[in-house]
Amino acid sequence: MSNIIINRKVLEQSVGKKLTLDQLKERISMMDAVLEKVNRDELEVEVFPSRPDMLSEQGFARALASFIGAKTGLRNYPVKKSGLKINIDASVKEVRPFTACAIVKGIKFDDEKITEIIQLQEKLHTTYGRNRKKAAIGVYPLEKITFPVTFKAEKPDQISFIPLEADEAMTGAQILSRHKAGREYGALLEGKAKFPIFIDAKNEILSMPPIINSQLTGRITPQTKDVFIECSGFDYDALSICLNIIVTSLAEMGGEVYSLELIYPDDKKISPDLSPRKMKLDLTYVNKRLGLSLKEKEVIGLLEKMGFGYEKGMVLIPPYRADIMHQVDLAEDIAIAYGYENFTEELPNVSTIGEEAPLEKFARKVREVLVGLELMEVKNIHLLTELELNKRMNLAAKLITLKNALGENNTLRNSVLPSLLKNLQENQHNLYPQNIFEIGRIFEWAEEAETGVGEKDNLGIVLCHDKTDFTQIRQSLDALMRSLGLEAVIRDAKHASFIPGRVGNIVIEGKKVGIIGEIHPQALTNWGITMPVVAMEMDVEGLWGLVNKK
Amino acid sequence: MNLTSLISKLHPLERKVLPFLKSEKELLSLVKASGMQEIEVMRALQWLENKDILHLSTETKKVIVLGKNGLKYKEEGMPEKKLLKVLTDKFQSLSEITQKSGLEKEEVDACIGILKRKVGIELQKEKELMLKLGLQGKKILSEGTLEEQFLTKSFPLELEKLTDVEKFSLEELKKRKELVSTEEIRKVTISLTELGKKVIAVKLSTGEVLNRLTPEMLKTGSWKDKEFRAYDIQAQVPSIYSGKTHFVNQAIEYAKQIWLEMGFKEMTGTMVSTSFWCMDALFVPQDHPARTMQDTFFLGGKAEKGKLPAADIIQQVKEAHETGGKSGSSGWKYSWNEEEAKRNVLRTHTTVLTSKTLAQLKDKDLPAKFFAVGKCFRNEAVDWKHHFEFNQTEGIVVDQNADFRHLLGYLRQFFTKMGFPQARFRPSYFPYTEPSLEIDVWHQERQEWVELGGAGMLRPEVVVPLLGKDIPVLAWGPGFDRIILEYYQIKDIRNLYKNDLKLSREVKVWLK
């Protein structure tokens, strides 16, 4: 999600209609964006990733003007030929194979416009451009450049120019290690034998994409009127759309668009191409999906509200739209134009039988029994720390950990008892007895599982007060077993979290389903708990299996 | 309350005390007169005060009380006088005098100091200390000292009422061991109210009212023809707490019930999933920001990667991403990487259950409706508004005839039942739905729309690879925690899973 700042006056000017704040809020929300904040004349708008064309004031105003009916239909952006050429050298194939370029002339770049074009460039970089990986954009004052420009790759040491925000010439390698932009985006060129550069006919380096422009030839100033724009990346169609978003925004500012000839080693392209894409629209499909019965004429009107054109069953898609992959995307735009608020909601009469998952249902029954024993249910998170799962429990199990957890909780719990002891530790200021239970997910190694991780729901019970003992936890177990119609026996066991001689396996019909005993004072001390605790933990699915068999 | 009813509710202790209030107006004398324990009398008086029968006024005073030696000397006379009695005008040795006086050595030493200052004795140091009567000795013997006179008063003495001379004597006595000390005492005075005066005029039955009903009384029938004391049933009693299910689970149970009533079948599944089911099968491109390390928990070590499903499903999903495959889409146009799809994640949404369910679904199962409620994860720092674990509720309708209007209908129904009749649906974006929408509910207190979560119709790029053909699938997955916080009026999201037993014990149950 990306937020942009829009000047309300500029917006109203471009839209050509004044809206009250409430109207603005409501219309923007229903158009596929969110008006997040209003500070005097500034609007902060959240733009969805599907609509990078709305990341500029002009783009946003264009969409809004259409949507509210002030200026609908496909906008035509004329392109003149500049006669200039860009040579794309075969050497870029390995590192950043494509570029799409354009020239826009006749813009008065005041500070406001410069800020805006930089905002658009940065927002496109982070969203559509996937932090410059998929698309990196460069904007240059045209008068500093001598054509033809060449896009080629050079060894990092042989590249030398003064990058933006630096005082002296740096090599490609130095830029990566010393320049702020180099450190931030250097990973995108890491391990490449050659780095890509744009270089002009006078051998002036314009930029080293996707990292940085040159200080001499790559800075827009209030004196700039004409600009050269390039987008570089890995997919020509994606770059084209990115370029079109910028170029059409500049055209909305009053710029005139000129094309260049891109000479690829085995192909020639004219760029930019601002002619609309065409897609066939199946009216039946749209009506069926939306539950409407729109006529062709109505659909045309709705499409025009979203900036599309229409010609004999074909939708004309504006060159800046990045999100139209399937006619289902057109169906959504038709729905938005129709107005989500205008649909007649319907709860259809489809006969299906509701069914609760059997294990969930069983767990609910177990809960009922335990609540009857005056136990309090707790619900814990699944991520704990190794300290809590192993050391504090006197254990040394091999645990399943996360690769990239932001916080310290980076280990999946393999038992619910550590969570319950943590609860007791944190509740020492509260009233006793503290007799609590949880039915919750635990994670274990399981080679046969699709993920290599096995998951079970376990029941854990702890009884904690000054007079608790093995008898009491055994009574709780017996009460539960009676209610489930099962009979459990306890067999001697060893478990470092419990006092030796006061711990056993819970065995039902010869099958081990859990463990029961008095928690070892060392474990309690590790947790900082100064009240005795007895505990048990059981596999709920195992229990359910036994109950279900009967 | 009328007099009879008031009297019938009197506790036995109150009944015992009341008759004495005709004459006694002060706690200590009342204790003495009634022969009851002070604590019993006090309790009875407080209850009576609560019933507006009397007023208690308490004042605290400083008084002088006698210590161990004070009591002794008051009775036996002051030691210095005993000493003087055995003295004559001739010098006698200390040991002789000590023996004759019958005083302790310690007492003698103290007396010598006092008498020396008052010129009651004369000393001479020879081999041993020698003593004889001094100038004032006889006068002291006949008239006594000020301290001695002070001791004859009746204690405890109120400090405030002492004369200057008495205060001087007190200071002198305080210098000596365990003679006198000052203490603070409470004086409780009782004054009857108008109601109280009426109550004590009534003759109270004492022995005949019954307190606790016992099995014995029932067996013997001894309760018959007797009166039960009425309790003060408006009084507070100590709290007890019931066992309870966790309040989050109560909310989940309710949501589940709504789906079940609407004919939905529950989906459950693992929290760890391969990216394949959690992302790829849902047409989330592999370079999508949601798949970066910042947003999603990836598993590490030996659990880093899992296995992919059958080859034909992999192929279908791959094609959907790269070219759109059989879905009629242009796809994301990039080279789809199998290894990336194997990476294990903690599920970022319950929609992973939807993708797995769709892959299992056969034609004969249609139409079908499924739901899930469950924990999801996002790699986020914890604060009062954010948690790395959150609950989501998921629903899908797979039906050849389903359309967008039905989606709105189901959602309206669910949110109305959850207590949000005022919901609005507005356009939104998710990689796996089209059209997509966001559900906002109206927050009465804040007077604004609050976002609750997303919904939409699954894209053909999702449905075709999993189901084999493009059948409308309505899907939604709003977050659930906000609803829970709102209902229980909990402001800090961390309190949902902190398991503070005080909160759990006192929070109301889910009453919808």
pLDDT tens string B84-134: 888 888 888 888 888 888 888 888 888 888 888 888 888 888 888 888 888
In angstroms, the CA B446 to CA B491 distance is 14
Residues B159 and B201 in one domain: no
Query: A-chain residues within 8 Å CB-CB of B265?
Result: 352-355
Of A346, A356, A431, the CB nearest to B409: A346
Q: Do B265 and A352 touch (CB under 8 A)?
A: yes
Residues A29 and A128 in one domain: no
Local structure of A523: helix, strand or coil: helix
Q: Do B426 and A356 touch (CB under 8 A)?
A: no
Which residue range forms the structural domain that includes residue B48?
3-59+185-206
Residues A133 and A187 in one domain: yes
Q: How far is B244 from chain A (nearest CA, A)?
A: 5
Average pLDDT over residues B476-495: 90
Is residue B157 domain-resident?
A: yes
CATH number, position A429: 3.30.930.10
Residues A519 and A428 in one domain: yes
Residues B363 and B425 in one domain: yes
Whole-number pLDDT of residue B1: 59
Residues A145 and A167 in one domain: yes
Task: Give, in order, the Cα–Cα distances in Å from B441 to each of A339, A347, A495, B418, B478.
Answer: 18, 19, 51, 11, 12
List, for residues B236-259, the tens digit of each pLDDT value.
888 899 999 999 999 999 999 999
CB contact B302 to A (< 8 Å): yes
List, for residues B144-197, the tens digit of each pLDDT value.
788 888 888 888 888 888 888 888 888 888 888 888 888 888 888 999 999 888
Of A288, A376, A404, the CB nearest to B243: A376
Residues B296 and B377 in one domain: yes
How many domains are contained in chain B?
3
Contacts 24+ apart (CB under 8 A), A186-195: A186/A211, A188/A132, A188/A133, A189/A95, A192/A94, A192/A95, A192/A153, A193/A94, A193/A155, A194/A91, A194/A94, A194/A95, A194/A153, A194/A154, A194/A155, A194/A156, A195/A95, A195/A153, A195/A154, A195/A155, A195/A156, A195/A159
Is residue B222 domain-resident?
A: no
Residues A168 and A288 in one domain: no
Which residue range forms the structural domain that includes residue A320?
280-340
Residues A217 and A95 in one domain: yes
CATH number, position A336: 3.30.56.10
Q: Is the pLDDT confidence value at B498 over 70?
A: yes
A428-457 in b/e form (b: 16+ CB < 10 A) is: eeeeebbbbbbbbbbbbeeeebbbbbbbeb
Residues A134 and A169 in one domain: yes
List, for residues A10-67, the tens digit of each pLDDT value.
888 888 888 888 888 899 999 989 988 888 889 999 999 999 999 999 999 999 999 9
| Residues linked to residue B192 through DSSP beta bridges, in sequence order | B54
ipTM computed for the complex: 0.92
Query: B-chain residues within 8 Å CB-CB of A383?
Result: 377, 388-389
CB contact B367 to A (< 8 Å): yes
Local structure of A332: helix, strand or coil: helix
**pLDDT above 70 covers what percent of chain A?**
100
Whole-number pLDDT of residue A1: 63
Is residue A229 domain-resident?
A: yes
How many domains are contained in chain A?
4
Residues A293 and A370 in one domain: no
CB contact A339 to B (< 8 Å): no
Residues B156 and B298 in one domain: no
Q: Is the pLDDT confidence value at B206 over 70?
A: no
Is residue A352 domain-resident?
A: no
CB contact A223 to B (< 8 Å): no
Query: B-chain residues within 8 Å CB-CB of A372?
Result: 243
Q: Do B270 and A451 touch (CB under 8 A)?
A: yes
What sections of B1-136 are H helices per DSSP?
Answer: 3-8, 12-17, 27-34, 38-50, 68-76, 79-86, 94-101, 105-117
Residues A263 and A335 in one domain: no
Q: Is the pLDDT confidence value at A189 over 70?
A: yes
Of B397, B333, B398, B338, give the one whose Cα is nearest residue A326. B333
In this structure, what DSSP letter does residue A402 have? B
Residues B434 and B489 in one domain: yes
Q: Examine the fold and report which residue of A47, A67, A87 is the final residue of a domain before the chain moves on.
A: A67
Whole-number pLDDT of residue B183: 85
Which of B291, B342, B389, B405 to mutate to probe the A interface, most A CBs <10 Å? B405
Of A367, A376, A382, the CB nearest to B501: A376
Of A134, A292, A455, the CB nearest to B287: A134
List, for residues A245-297, the tens digit of each pLDDT value.
999 999 999 999 999 999 999 999 999 999 999 999 999 999 999 999 999 99
Residues A88 and A225 in one domain: yes
